[in-house]
Amino acid sequence: MPQVKQQIIEMALNGSGIRDMARVLEISPCTVFMELKKKSPALSRSTSRC
C-alpha cells in the first residue's frame, strides 16, 4: 500500500483526476480522496514553489 500512496501523490501532481487515479490503480475513488486529503498540506507546499 505505501507504493500506491506514492503513486496517488505523483499522479495528483501530474494532473490526474480522482476517478482516473482510482481506475488506473484499481482502488476506490474514496480511497484516493482520503489519501489526498491526508496529504493536502504537503501537496500545497510542493506546488507553491512552481
Q: Please, is 18 exposed, middle or buried when counting C-beta atoms within 10 Å of its C-beta (0-12, 13-18, 19+)?
A: middle
Q: What pTM did the predictor assign?
A: 0.74
Task: List, in sequence order, every beta strand (DSSP E) within the chain.
Answer: none
Boundaries of every domain in the chain: 2-47
Task: Convert the pLDDT of each residue in 5-47 to its tens digit.
Answer: 999 999 999 999 999 999 999 999 999 999 999 987 666 555 4
